[in-house]
Amino acid sequence: MDRLYERSSRRCEAGSLDPVVRDAIAAHAEAHQLGDVLGAARWCCETRSTRLKRPGLLARLTKSGDPDKEHATVALVLPRYLVVAVAGEQRGVHVRSIRLEDVSVGRGLASTIDTGVSATGLWTGTTEPASFYIGLGDDADGKAFLDTLRDAITEVKSA
């Protein structure tokens, strides 16, 4: 099956993020009492995703397809949390977080045709466990981020 996105990931400093994304992350952290997530990030990864095909007719009619041709995903690994922000021109900026002790990561259904990881657990502000797909580049920084995330989850769960 054909890939859905062309993705490239790069390790970056939280302070160098787009100011709109950075402000949204800081506001989420304050609203959920997560502390200084930008300062505490052990690893910050930004992934640029370009949709390779437009959504199908049903997805366009139901508005369930990706509204943006391009979007960015920022993922931060903290000592106790994973914070993810997705930003696109049409969708705006959406931020979510999850405790590392509550998350499990796996390839998920989407990863059979895409690069990234599915993170499942109780996301901040929700009452039911859910999965969220974090697109990552199939490059050195994308793979290093995933290794760092898995190591951080193992460290927290075995403490």
pLDDT at site 9:
97
**Paired sense of beta strands 5-11 and 92-99, if any:** unpaired
Domain boundaries, the chain: 5-158
Distances (CA, A) of 80 to 53, 112, 152: 37, 29, 8
- CB half-sphere exposure, 14, CA atoms < 13 A: 21
Closest CA to 6 of 45, 52, 47: 52
Q: What is the DSSP letter of 56?
A: P
Structural tokens at position 33: 């009492």
User: Domain 5-158 belongs to what architecture?
Assistant: Roll (2.30)
Per-residue pLDDT of the chain (159 residues; tens, 9 = 90+): 577 789 999 999 999 999 999 999 999 999 999 999 999 999 999 999 998 877 667 756 776 677 788 999 999 999 999 999 999 998 899 999 999 999 999 876 555 567 889 999 999 989 999 999 999 999 999 999 999 999 999 999 998
Q: Which secondary structure element, helix H or strand E, spans residue 140, and what is its range?
A: helix 140-157
